[in-house]
């Protein structure tokens, strides 16, 4: 059983598929997001469909892999089961590759002001906010309001933050 269809989960499933075993991949989304290009969706350089591929299509060449569109709610390690919204699934071995989330360093009040960039939904929200800021700035100029520069702040200097800042 592999929980998660990101880079880690897909790689694990593909390696396990070479063995004489049945592999089940469980993910709450039916597509794999190519996260290194999320910044291009956020800056309107790419559409979401250009960085998302169906999980079943990616794993199509492996007849011993089953893909389930389910959200895992809990694990019972003693009973070797995972609990989803729809069912309880048993497993012999479990790989948890459910990804990571962004952190606000103990300040959850920052979340509404600073969206993370880990999903297509995050990228679309950033795109919406950036384009809206330009629209509002254009309206102010048209209304004769003094011209104030737009400022965007990117927190994080990892690959995604650096690419996002460089594109803006």
User: Is 163 one of the catalytic residues?
Assistant: yes
Residue 89 has pLDDT above 80, yes or no: yes
Is the distance from CB of 31 to CB of 55 less than 8 angstroms? yes
Residue 168 has pLDDT above 80, yes or no: no
Residue tagged active-site, from 70, 109, 111, 163: 163
d(CA 121, CA 44): 13
**What is the percent of the chain where pLDDT is above 90?**
74
Is the distance from CB of 70 to CB of 86 less than 8 angstroms? yes
pLDDT in tens, 43-88: 999 999 999 999 999 999 999 999 999 999 999 999 999 999 999 9
Helix (H, G, I), strand (E, B) or coil at 146: coil
pTM of the model: 0.86
**Structure-token pair, residue 60:** 């199509």
Q: Where in the chain is the domain with CATH 3.50.50.60?
A: 2-96
pLDDT in tens, 148-167: 888 888 888 888 888 888 88
User: CATH topology for 2-96?
Assistant: FAD/NAD(P)-binding domain (3.50.50)
């Amino acid at each position: 059983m592999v929980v998660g269809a990101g880079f880690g989960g897909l790689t694990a499933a593909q390696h396990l598929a070479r063995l004489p075993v049945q592999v089940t991949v469980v993910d709450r989304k039916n597509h794999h997001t190519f996260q290194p290009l999320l910044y291009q969706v956020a800056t309107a350089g790419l559409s979401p469909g250009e960085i998302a591929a169906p999980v079943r299509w990616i794993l199509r060449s492996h007849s011993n892999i089953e893909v389930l569109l389910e959200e895992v709610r809990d694990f019972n390690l003693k009973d070797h089961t995972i609990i989803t919204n729809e069912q309880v699934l048993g497993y012999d071995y479990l790989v948890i590759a459910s990804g990571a989330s962004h952190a606000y360093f103990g300040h959850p009040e920052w979340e509404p002001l600073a969206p993370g960039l880990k999903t297509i939904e995050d990228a679309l929200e950033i795109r919406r906010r950036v384009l809206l800021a330009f629209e509002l700035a254009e309206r102010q100029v048209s209304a004769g309001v003094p011209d104030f520069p737009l400022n965007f702040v990117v927190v994080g200097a990892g690959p995604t933050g650096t690419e996002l800042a460089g594109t803006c």
